[in-house]
Amino acid sequence: MAQDAAPAAKAQPTVSAPAAPAAATPAAAKDAGPGNPDEGGWVPMTPTPGKGMPKPAGIDVQQQYSPVGRMAYPFHVAMMWIMGIICVFVAALLLWVMIRYRAGRNPVPSKTTHNTMLEVVWTLLPVLILVGIAIPSIKLLAKQYESPPKDAITIKATGYQWYWDYTYPDNGVEVVSKMLNVPGEPEINAGTRYDGTKPWDGPNHLEVDNRLVVPVGVPLRIQTTGADVIHSFAVPSLWFKLDAIPGRLNERMLQIDEPGVYYGQCSELCGAKHGFMPIAIEAVPMDKWRQWVALQGGHMKKTGGSDASAQPADAAAAPEATPSDKPAEGAAPVAPVTPTPATTA
Ligand SMILES: [Cu+2]
């Protein structure tokens, strides 16, 4: 924690300026670079209110948009009911015993010590309930740890104090993703614009300058690591949470059911601005994703034969990129590749 304090203090000077609702253009120009949505004609998706984000006064888990989430959510609801019924039942029994068998009503206490039938029931019943829970629970656990198939699209999310960096190693794309500043609040990220200055901006504290753009309906291999301290990559509406640990490369499969913008946050206390490194995933159809990759100056995976299907599509994406009015895109080398600390890849 002492470590965290130092960079925080250094960053502090930028935090005081009381937010002149950002001239969007100069700010946008500042964060020009790979992944900038203002670059290359990419128009980010406008999020649907309430989808992939928390709802005001909501108390339930967010609606799920991934196969794992759709499996886990009903299980979560069933567990809540089982727990609730047991709590009410035990509390009722206690109350009944306290009232019915109080000293005042039973001056001569009963000498009963055993009841075989009752003992068998109160042993067997919890065992049966636990077995009943264990079966779907283990299935869900296994599903959550399912390995991505060989041809899954790889995305590596690196947590920094206090932003995310996304690389697509097979596509030669890198995106640095920082929280948008919040109107009326101290500036958190110098150089990023203010939330609400673009029509596609989502909720404040959750929207970022450059989203993680991914294709829908196909398995993604999400790898996480931390560049400095432990972070955690978590998106509630996709039932996805994976720690990002320095010196380690964690991996989990993610698949998103339908296009949309899904928001999450770093979920490991990682320092002073832990609360200001949100995650915004923009899931788009595959052809749009290919277009996005091309606009970032990236390419489709060079196939070694396993996923031959990618090749013709790659060829299709390429011409799309060439006439694009952004030839400079390719010229800008993919942002200075941040040395990733000792990841065991
Ligand atoms: Cu963090």
Higher pLDDT, 320 or 224: 224
Kindly give the distance from the C-alpha atom of residue 287 to the centroid of ligand 1, in angstroms, as a whole number: 32
Check pLDDT > 90 for residue 281. yes
Question: DSSP assignment of 151-212, as one string?
Answer: TPEEEEEEEETTEEEEEETTTTEEEEE-BPB-TTS--SSTTS-BTTSSTT--STTT-BSS-E
Percent of the chain with pLDDT over 90: 69
Tell me the HSE value of 181 on the side-chain side, using a 13 A CA sphere. Answer: 26
For the chain, the domains span 67-106+117-145, 153-296
CATH 2.60.40.420 for domain 153-296, yes or no, is: yes
Check pLDDT > 90 for residue 18. no
pLDDT tens string 35-72: 444 556 789 999 999 999 999 999 999 999 999 999 99
Kindly give the distance from the C-alpha atom of residue 225 to the centroid of ligand 1, in angstroms, as a whole number: 11
Kindly give the distance from the C-alpha atom of residue 231 to the centroid of ligand 1, in angstroms, as a whole number: 4
pLDDT tens string 301-316: 876 544 434 444 444 3
pLDDT tens string 188-204: 999 899 999 999 999 99
Residue listed under structure tokens 């400095």: 228
- Comparing 12-21, 127-136, 239-248, 281-290, the range with the smallest average pLDDT is 12-21
Check pLDDT > 80 for residue 297. yes
pLDDT in the model for residue 83: 96
pLDDT in the model for residue 303: 63
pLDDT tens string 80-124: 999 999 999 999 999 999 999 999 998 888 888 899 999 999 999
Kindly give the distance from the C-alpha atom of residue 163 to the centroid of ligand 1, in angstroms, as a whole number: 7
Kindly give the distance from the C-alpha atom of residue 228 to the centroid of ligand 1, in angstroms, as a whole number: 9
pLDDT tens string 320-337: 333 333 333 333 333 443
Kindly give the distance from the C-alpha atom of residue 172 to the centroid of ligand 1, in angstroms, as a whole number: 25
Q: What is the strand order of the sheet 212-215 is part of?
A: 212-215, 278-284, 260-266, 231-235, 240-244
pLDDT tens string 255-265: 999 999 999 99
Compute the mean pLDDT over every residue in the chain, rounded to the nearest whole number: 81
Mean pLDDT of 142-147: 93
Kindly give the distance from the C-alpha atom of residue 189 to the centroid of ligand 1, in angstroms, as a whole number: 15
Kindly give the distance from the C-alpha atom of residue 326 to the centroid of ligand 1, in angstroms, as a whole number: 34
Kindly give the distance from the C-alpha atom of residue 241 to the centroid of ligand 1, in angstroms, as a whole number: 12
Kindly give the distance from the C-alpha atom of residue 232 to the centroid of ligand 1, in angstroms, as a whole number: 6
- Comparing 4-18, 245-259, 283-297, the range with the smallest average pLDDT is 4-18
Kindly give the distance from the C-alpha atom of residue 277 to the centroid of ligand 1, in angstroms, as a whole number: 6
